[in-house]
Structure 1
Amino acid sequence: MSPDAPAYGLWTLVFLNSAIFLMFAFSFFRPQTARDWRTFGAFAAFIVALFVEMYGFPLTIYVMSGWLQTRFPGTDLLSHNAGHLWSTLLGEQGDAHFGPLHIASYVFLGFGFYLLSSAWNVLYQAQRGNTLATTGPYARIRHPQYVAFVLILLGFLLQWPTLLTLAMFPILLVMYGRLAITEEAQMRTRFGDAFERYARRTPRFFPRMGQGSTAG
């Protein structure tokens, strides 16, 4: 795709990209409970909204077009590169796909999907054995799957920010935070003192610096 070519109205790409990323995330997360489905559903809404604006209809570009045309005269607002708004706003030259923010987005996305996959394997084994998940990423933080979703969302926001996804992001943060608290209340009821000991030594979302994977 040429950087200066109109890049919208490509609804096949909207469908294919949404389907690929959602199937990829679903294969790792594999929602089973109603809570799992709410978590995945909110993530799916973000992904679909993202790709609709990336390839379908650039709502953010249209809303901001007057200001953008004044601030960056001569910019082809319907080019694909212009949709990478952080690069446009920062005045970066050249192909936005090779810019530092785009490269950083790949780091967030790659680590997010890796963490999601690793967490699911541990959680699946724990569920089969009717035990707490306390190994692998669960030895560092209590909710690695929610952290993985947030890393993936941040990666996409670095690549292609839109008004809708930027508005959705803090709502999703609150939603995941509340789901984590609800999940912990259920684990306390189910595992009692074992969960309390685990919670005391393991942070909820942010690992302690220098902490080893010693939880068993």
Structure 2
Amino acid sequence: MNDTAPSYGLWSLVVVNSAIFIFFAYTFFKPQTARDWRSFSAFSAFLVALFAEMYGFPLTIYFLSGWLQSRFPDVDWFSHDAGHLLEMMFGWKANPHAGPFHILSFVFIGGGFILISAAWKVLFDAQQTRSLATTGPYSYLRHPQYVGFILVMFGFLLQWPTILTLAMFPVLTVMYVRLARTEERDARAEFGDAYARYAADVPGFIPKLSRVFGAATGGYRHG
């Protein structure tokens, strides 16, 4: 890292990174109802809060600076790399980007966006024919897009945890679960027994290990 470069106050990077990730999420989520927009707005707020601390102002570092400095006196907590709190606290001080938490964060973030993308294609095709989405990710989970958003947020928390985003994470998770329940009621009303059979076989948010590891091949099969 170049010592002459500013660690924070890079508000242009806050705007650019927030805009890119929010737009990417929008292209796959495509909110329609007021409930959709509230959930999407909350996710967008999570991203803005994250990047504001990552590049703008390190509120969490300032808030915890006394405790952090007393426990880890050899760390320059106001350097940019120190924002990777987990890597710093567990000893990856030289290069936090090569630390296990940082690498694992990319697995969750990348996996989450891949899941959102794959699920949207299946859902879009099903909407065109007014049929039930049961193939691809929907053969493992009833709500893969929401699971994808949760994975993305969790990945960012591993990479750059902040007090605000840690507080927002459970709130957003509950919002997605509630939105999923509302959508299930609509699906039951529209598809009746077909959705009831599908819901009885496919979990909502946590996939069956037997299905993940190959017990089920292809898409969900109607009984």
Read off the aligned partner of 2:113 and give its amino acid letter: F
Aligned AA (2:64): M
Which letter does structure 1 place at the counterpart of 2:2? S
Q: 1:146-191, CA deviations, whole angstroms, 9 ceiling, x for partnerless residues?
A: 0000110011001000000001111111111111111111111111
- Given that 1:5 and 1:78 are in contact with CA atoms closer than 8 Å, whether structure 2 keeps it comes out as no
8 Å CA contact retained: 1:69, 1:75: yes
Which structure is higher in RCO with an 8 Å CA cutoff and minimum separation 6?
1
Q: Please state if 1:184 is matched with 2:172.
A: no
Q: How many residues align?
A: 216
Describe the shift of the 1:74–1:209 C-alpha distance in structure 2 as closer, same or farther (beyond 3 A). Answer: closer
User: 2:199 and 2:161 mapped to 1: Cα distance?
Assistant: 35
Give the 3 Å change call, closer, same or farther, for CA 143–9 of structure 1 in structure 2: same
| More displaced stretch, 187-196 vs 87-96 | 87-96
Q: Which residue of 1 aligns with 2:99?
A: 99
Moved more, 1-10 or 186-195: 1-10
TM-score (norm 1): 0.95
Render the CA deviation track for 1:21-44: whole Å, top value 9, x for unaligned.
111111222222333222211111
When residues 27 and 152 of structure 1 are mapped into structure 2, their CA distance, relative to the original with a 3 A threshold, is same
Q: TM-score under structure 2 normalisation? A: 0.92
* Cα shift at 1:5: 5.3
Aligned pairs for 1:80-119 (under 5 A) are: 80-119=80-119
Amino acid at match of 1:102: H
Give yes or no for contact 1:116–1:145 (8 Å, CA) kept in 2: yes
What residue ranges of structure 1 are gaps of 5+ in the alignment?
Answer: none
Q: Does 1:214 align with 2:214?
A: no
Q: Which amino acid aligns with 2:30?
A: R
Shift, 1:3, TM fit: 7.3
Residues in 2 aligned to 1:57 and 1:204: alpha-carbon distance in whole angstroms: 38
SS in 1 for 2:7: coil
Q: How far apart are 1:92 and its partner, in Å?
A: 2.0
Counterpart residue type for residue 13 of structure 1: L
Structure 2: runs of 5+ lacking an equivalent: none
1:38-49 equivalence runs, <5 A: 38-49=38-49
- What is the percent sequence identity of the aligned residues? 61
Match of 1:158 in 2: 158
Map 1:187-206 → 2, pairs under 5 A: 187-206=187-206
Instruction: Give the secondary-structure state (helix, strand or coil) at the position aligned to 2:209.
Output: coil
Q: In the alignment, what sits opposite 1:170?
A: 170
From the superposition, tell whether residues 198 and 175 of structure 1 become closer, same or farther in structure 2 (CA, over 3 Å). Answer: same
Q: Distance in 1 between matches of 2:178 and 2:31?
A: 17
User: CA–CA distance in 1 between the matches of 2:151 and 2:175?
Assistant: 15
AA of the residue aligned to 2:133:
A
